[in-house]
């Protein structure tokens, strides 16, 4: 498929929503994936992709057909041209100078709803598969500038990522070729083969398992776009990684169950319903103290803690300092994702970030898809793209 998938999907699904169809990011994602899988060569197959993924009730088909006709009227249908039939989806020929074909449909009439501009060029051909092209184009874009349709296009890229935390030894042991412990029973059994002489001692080693991950995500107004993107990342990339997810603004809300066993769009919708202060103010220190007091069991000892916040705290900085000190004593590693750190020369001189900085192992921006590599490296405690180190190295 030669069309720019991000532009095509964003423009068409936005028109569907304007017409009153309930096209959420999850349906948008399925539409994009259907186009990639089918690679429609003509409008009939593109229409079939839309009908199969964007509506759930036959009564919605007339409205979908009206939107489809409005968006693609005058667009050259390559399949019809090969058959020798009418080459446009409408009754009138395409106006002179109008870009035609599916690529032109993506380019005509503007671009996606937010922030793309004309720099992308009309009808620019991109290499297949289109999802890879869209990922490349959107990878460096700030999450704050992406529309829901564009964010949905990053789902496939996020599924290729893997969140991992450092391993730790457990109390349980397992058979091993080398290890500090002797497996006495197995050694005695094997000694029977050598006349009762323990020629070789069997060994045991302790099981190693990933440390649990605890995510505390700020959903205040300034962080709402980043919260949605990183909650989508958690759903797509967590895999078997155990993760407890909480959101906060003026209060703390547990979202672990809401994010389990459902698609990203539905999970985020449920998250919004469960979090009563989505896009409200921010009291980071009070929320962390409540987490440690009421939900501290979810943390355990030795967990990796990810705090997602820009550090704008309307509460007392002393409360945040006290909460971070308590968290530091219990956590194995604290990573803070703050999109404001993407700016060169960022220094945590005032506010909540200044109070939290001395207790963080690493501070990353996580403001775009490309910036997530640094976040994943920081969570795993391994070398990776450059990160801003927390001031367990001092602020200098």
Residue 117: what pLDDT? 36
CATH 3.40.50.410 intervals, the chain: 213-389
Residue 389: what pLDDT? 55
One digit per residue, pLDDT tens: the chain, 396 residues?
Answer: 444 556 677 778 878 887 788 888 778 888 888 887 777 767 888 888 888 888 888 888 888 888 888 877 654 444 444 445 444 444 343 333 333 333 333 333 333 333 333 333 333 333 334 556 667 788 899 999 988 778 877 887 888 888 989 888 777 777 777 777 887 788 788 888 887 877 778 888 777 788 999 999 998 877 888 988 898 888 887 766 778 998 888 778 888 887 776 666 666 666 667 666 666 668 899 999 999 998 876 666 789 999 999 988 888 889 999 999 999 999 999 999 999 998 887 888 767 889 999 999 999 999 999 999 999 999 998 876 656 555 454 443
The domain defined by 213-389 folds into Rossmann fold (3.40.50)
Residue 115: what pLDDT? 36
pLDDT tens column, 108-161: 333 333 333 333 333 333 333 455 666 778 889 999 998 877 887 788 788 888
Residue 63: what pLDDT? 87
End-to-end Cα, the chain, rounded Å: 51
pTM of the model: 0.62
- Cβ 203 vs Cβ 177: under 8 Å: yes
């Amino acid at each position: 498929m030669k069309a720019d998938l991000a532009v095509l999907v964003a423009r068409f699904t936005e028109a569907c929503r304007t017409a009153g169809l309930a096209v959420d990011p999850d349906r948008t994602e399925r539409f994009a994936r259907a186009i990639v899988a089918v690679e429609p060569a003509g409008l009939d197959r593109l229409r079939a992709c839309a009908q199969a993924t964007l509506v759930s009730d036959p009564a919605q088909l007339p409205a979908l057909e009206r939107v489809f006709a409005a968006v693609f009227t005058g667009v050259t249908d390559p399949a019809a041209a090969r058959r020798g039939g009418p080459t446009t989806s409408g009754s009138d020929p395409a106006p002179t100078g109008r870009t035609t074909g599916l690529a032109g449909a993506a380019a005509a009439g503007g671009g996606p709803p937010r922030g793309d501009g004309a720099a992308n060029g009309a009808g620019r051909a991109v290499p297949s598969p289109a999802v890879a092209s869209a990922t490349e184009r959107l990878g460096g874009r700030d999450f704050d500038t992406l529309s829901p349709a564009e964010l949905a296009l990053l789902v496939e890229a996020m599924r290729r990522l893997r969140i991992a935390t450092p391993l730790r030894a457990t109390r349980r042991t397992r058979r091993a070729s080398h290890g500090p412990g002797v497996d006495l029973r197995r050694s005695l059994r094997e000694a029977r083969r050598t006349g009762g002489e323990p020629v070789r001692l069997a060994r045991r080693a302790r099981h190693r398992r990933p440390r649990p991950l605890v995510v505390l995500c700020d959903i205040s107004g300034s962080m709402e776009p980043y919260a949605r993107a990183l909650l989508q990342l958690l759903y797509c990339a967590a895999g078997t990684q155990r993760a407890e997810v909480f959101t906060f603004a003026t209060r703390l809300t547990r979202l672990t169950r809401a994010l389990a066993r459902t698609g990203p769009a539905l999970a985020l919708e449920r998250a919004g319903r469960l979090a009563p202060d989505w896009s409200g103010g921010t009291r980071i220190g009070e929320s962390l103290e409540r987490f440690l007091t009421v939900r501290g069991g979810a943390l355990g000892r030795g967990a990796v803690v990810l705090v997602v916040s820009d550090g704008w705290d309307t509460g007392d900085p002393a409360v945040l300092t006290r909460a971070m000190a308590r968290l530091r004593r219990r956590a194995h590693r604290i990573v803070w994702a703050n999109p404001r750190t993407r700016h060169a020369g960022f220094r945590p001189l005032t506010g909540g970030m200044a109070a939290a900085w001395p207790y963080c192992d690493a501070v990353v921006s996580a403001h775009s898809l490309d910036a997530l590599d640094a976040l994943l490296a920081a969570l795993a405690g391994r070398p990776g793209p450059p990160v801003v180190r927390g001031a367990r190295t001092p602020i200098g």
